[in-house]
Structure 1
Amino acid sequence: MVLNFIWIGFFLIGFAVALVRLLQGDLTIFTQVLTGIFDTAKTGFDISLGLVGVMSLWLGIMKIGENAGVIQLFARAMGPFFGRIFPEVPRGHPAGGSMVMNFSANMLGLDNAATPLGLKAMKELQELNPRKDTASNAMIMFLVLNTAGITLIPTSVIAIRQAMAVDQGLVGFNAADIFLPTLVATFISFMSGLVAVAWVQRINLFSAPVLVFVGGFIAIMAAVFGWLHSYPPEQMSQYIGLLGSGVILSIIVTFIAVGAWRRINVYESFVEGAKEGFGVAVQIIPYLVAILVAISVFRTTGCMDYIVRGIAAGVGALGLPTDFVPALPIGLMKTLSGSGARGLMVDVLKTYGVDSFEGKLAAIIQGSTETTFYVLAVYFGSVNIKKTRYALTCGLLADLVGLVGAIAVGYWFFK
């Protein structure tokens, strides 16, 4: 219901602003808005079809892991923690393993791998859902933690910064200097999302499994950072790329090897799972197109710019620094469009420089925020959920806390 009001609001507010701009003499504004609608509708269709191959691959691999029993092992390993935050999901259920795999892919910055794994988890959670048109508690917790997920390695952001540093003539530039700030910012977002949903669902987080998980995660991340930080920038970037690709490839090979060892038909299992990829990709087209065209109207008419200027004026009136404002649109846009936020980040890096405070903050925000509207529309759309309950509210709360946290962490590390 909330998403319905927001969708309508994007169009009505955007149209009202376009009318004002027309009265002010901007005779091309309606053409720009209409062009944006058509372009983003095509983009939504292209994105959905572009996911067919990746989803077929990962759904096939997941089917091998499921038939081989590896997914169940993942679920059992995370059983104590997941048992606390997902009380509706039986221990050992395949959804637990799929959610673990999805969180792992997000941590490594592997968006293409995370999406099909998340869709697989949603399908399995839907099997446990007694009301098929209404989001269950487990679905909401999963989606909020997905959008507020911890990012260990912001792979794409680091790659973009490294490439632009070369163009800007920076020698010995450490493109991975946002590694720890991004990790801290995403941990803040993750914990805020977890606490928000747990409060609504009356889940007690002061339990041994949760405390051990949080404490253990902090210890592991500190050790990984200590290891990577000891290398020169170029070597660090190589190890980061090696870590991400190595983990994913190891998972694929492990699933296949265990399946062969347990004498299942690995090839047939892969094909069986891969067949689902096309159906899922086609099913999300209307949901993805709907949210993208609304975002396009809101963005093209300049509504986002007005919001940012208003925030800057308010912050300045309080006597606070406003040098973070150039990076702020990235965080606001990221909840709506990942590609749009990436474009805004690149613009900030070009305008202010990769090594500037604004550039570093833009990279941290890009690496530590998530496309909440996109995730909710696609994931819920894939299983025909119409009543999302409080999922969007908690997701946006985690985004807001994460954005504020990213700005604070940026000042802490780079000011």
Structure 2
Amino acid sequence: MVLSRFWLVIFISAIVFVMFSLFSGESYTIDHVLNGKKDDPILISEKFVEELPAFIRDSIRKVPEQTMIINRDTLNADTTYVYKNKTVKIYSGVQKSDGLLPTCKSTLLDLIIPLIAYLAFFCGLMELLIISGASGKLAKGLSPVFVKVFPSIPKDHPSISYMTLNFAANFLGLDSAATPFGLKAMESLQEINPDKDKASDAQIMFMCLHASGLTLIATSIIGYRAAANASNPADVMLPCIITSFIGTIAAFLIVGIKQKINFKSASLVLVLITLIAGIIGLLMYVNHLDLIGKNYFTSNLSALILIGIIAFTLIFSFLNEKKFTTANTTVFDSFVVGANNGVKTGVTIFPYVLGMLVAISLFRNSGLFEIISNWIAFIFSNMGVNKQITDALPVALLRPFSSAGSRGFLIDSMNTFGADSLTARLSSIFQCSAESTFYVIAVYFGSVNIKNTRYALGTMLLVDLICVITAIFVATWFF
């Protein structure tokens, strides 16, 4: 219900603002909102040649292409004059994201089709884990801990193994694997959900822990920083881990208090201590490496873990081939069945993802998001907050809505302020310390047709805010 109303507010407010801008003269055209593409120049005016200043008019008539670019500036987009059919179109600024119709197309071609491919492959592997008995063994081993965190889940339930694989994939930065494991977990949790239209306590806890984004190897962030010639691309790794860890603990405590979980359980304390010790150990190991060693370690660990999971699944399935025979199937046929289920899941979630991304596209291109962002930055700057911090806030504000959009701001901050600036480093921490909340909600709850997400959205946004505040403190402390 909350998500539905929020979606309507985004859509309606963006449409109202677009229409107001057009009829008030603030915008010359709204075509870019519907048909424009990211980084395209925006048409701001159209005039007859005679209405232009003489030096521009003369220059346009002299150049063969009948095009003139002025105001060349490293900080601002060029203003372009294009003469055609007796009029001059004036373009200035660039579009922040694809328009509504291109977003529909890119959602299918650039997001859903690749996602379906990932889902098909990893759901095929998960089918092997189920029939071979590996998932059951994993669930049985982890049940003592998970029944404390998820008291409504029966002991040794299959969802335990799926959630474990999802958390592990997120922890190692394996986004392509995390989503299929997470969707399988939601599907499994839905089987024991007494109210199929309403999110269960277990589903909300899983979603909030997943969205808190606990990450050990921020591979993509390190890659962006390396491409921007950062002196030490991996120097944000520890701040990212600290921020995402605090976000995860906050998510667990907020949801746990709501669900009246017993925090004094010895098994929970032991797991928490083990997790902290493991993180500290890995950080100490990475910290003693030189720059090349850090880059080599961070770029290969996640890939090795993923290959290891694939290899283990196939080998374990081969060693337990009798179980497949008993189930009247083969290892390969089971993989195909699981892959087919993955494709069906991808098709199911497409409308949910499309609806959310189109609303976000309209919201951004309307100019309303930029106004809100500028006002927030203005308020913070008047409170005495460092300008380098306020310059990074657009990444934090956009992250819950769009990973691709916030990534664009991140890259822009590195290009504008330098990869080793506080702004760029803080933007990197914002980017890796939380999930795209609205996308995650649409994908995961949409995959099992849950209409009432209860307090999941509010909790996830609160955790996002905690991560933002933590990131600011951590970044100023480290850098």
TM-score by length of 1: 0.95
Between structures 1 and 2, the one with greater strand share: 2
> Partners in 2 of 1:29 and 1:299 — Cα distance?
16
**What CA deviation, in whole Å up to 9, does each residue of 1:158-215 have, x standing for no partner?**
11111121xxxx6xx2101111100000011101111111111111222212211111
Q: Which has the larger displacement, 249-258 or 37-46?
A: 37-46
Residue identity matched to 2:249: M
Q: Which of residues 164, 177, 182 is equivalent to 1:118? A: 182
Structure 1 position 24, deviation (Å): 4.3
Aligned to 2:243: 185
Aligned to 2:141: 77
Aligned to 1:10: 10
Contact kept, 8 Å, 2:377 with 2:391, in 1: the verdict is no
Q: Which of residues 384, 390, 394 is equivalent to 1:325? A: 390
Aligned to 1:351: 416
Q: Which has the larger displacement, 344-353 or 204-213?
A: 204-213
1:10-409 aligned within 5 A: 10-35=10-35, 36-46=99-109, 47-165=111-229, 173-263=231-321, 264=324, 265-409=330-474
Structure 1 position 147, deviation (Å): 0.5
Residue identity matched to 2:332: Y
Segments of 4+ in structure 1 off by > 4 A? none
Aligned to 2:46: none
Contact kept, 8 Å, 1:331 with 1:369, in 2: the verdict is no
Note the residue ranges of structure 2 that are not aligned, 5 or more in a row.
Answer: 36-98, 325-329
Structure 1 position 319, deviation (Å): 2.8
Structure 1 position 315, deviation (Å): 2.0
> Partners in 1 of 2:17 and 2:116 — Cα distance?
37
> Partners in 1 of 2:219 and 2:114 — Cα distance?
21
Structure 1 position 28, deviation (Å): 4.0
Distance 1:134 1:96, change over 3 A: same
> Partners in 2 of 1:404 and 1:303 — Cα distance?
24
Contact kept, 8 Å, 1:72 with 1:97, in 2: the verdict is yes
Aligned to 2:67: none
Contact kept, 8 Å, 1:308 with 1:325, in 2: the verdict is no
> Partners in 2 of 1:153 and 1:271 — Cα distance?
31
- Calculate the aligned-residue CA RMSD, in Å: 1.4
Residue identity matched to 1:8: L
What is the count of residue pairs matched by the alignment?
408
> Partners in 2 of 1:358 and 1:27 — Cα distance?
31
> Partners in 1 of 2:378 and 2:452 — Cα distance?
37
**What CA deviation, in whole Å up to 9, does each residue of 1:374-406 have, x standing for no partner?**
011011111111111111011111111011111
Contact kept, 8 Å, 1:327 with 1:359, in 2: the verdict is yes
> Partners in 2 of 1:29 and 1:70 — Cα distance?
58
Structure 1 position 11, deviation (Å): 1.4
Structure 1 position 341, deviation (Å): 1.0
Structure 1 position 16, deviation (Å): 2.5
Contact kept, 8 Å, 1:49 with 1:282, in 2: the verdict is no
**What CA deviation, in whole Å up to 9, does each residue of 1:344-366 have, x standing for no partner?**
11111110111111111111111
Relative CO higher for 1 or 2, CA cutoff 8 Å, sep ≥ 6? 1
Contact kept, 8 Å, 1:11 with 1:298, in 2: the verdict is yes
TM-score by length of 2: 0.83
Structure 1 position 266, deviation (Å): 2.1
Q: 1:150 is paired with a residue of what secondary structure?
A: coil
**What CA deviation, in whole Å up to 9, does each residue of 1:108-143 have, x standing for no partner?**
111111111111111111111111111111111111
Residue identity matched to 2:227: A
Q: 1:349 is paired with a residue of what secondary structure?
A: helix
Residue identity matched to 2:263: L
Q: 2:155 is paired with a residue of what secondary structure?
A: coil
Residue identity matched to 2:417: Y
Q: 2:113 is paired with a residue of what secondary structure?
A: helix
Distance 1:64 1:411, change over 3 A: same
Q: 1:134 is paired with a residue of what secondary structure?
A: coil
Structure 1 position 40, deviation (Å): 1.3
Residue identity matched to 2:318: A
Between structures 1 and 2, the one with greater helix share: 1
Residue identity matched to 1:370: E
Distance 1:87 1:164, change over 3 A: same
> Partners in 1 of 2:423 and 2:385 — Cα distance?
16
> Partners in 2 of 1:27 and 1:209 — Cα distance?
60
Residue identity matched to 2:342: G
Structure 1 position 52, deviation (Å): 1.6
Structure 1 position 39, deviation (Å): 1.4
> Partners in 1 of 2:374 and 2:408 — Cα distance?
19
Contact kept, 8 Å, 1:342 with 1:366, in 2: the verdict is yes
> Partners in 1 of 2:265 and 2:364 — Cα distance?
44
Residue identity matched to 2:190: Q
Distance 1:23 1:191, change over 3 A: same
Contact kept, 8 Å, 2:377 with 2:393, in 1: the verdict is no
Distance 1:29 1:388, change over 3 A: farther
**What CA deviation, in whole Å up to 9, does each residue of 1:281-300 have, x standing for no partner?**
11111101100011011111
Q: 1:63 is paired with a residue of what secondary structure?
A: helix
Residue identity matched to 1:200: K
> Partners in 1 of 2:371 and 2:268 — Cα distance?
42
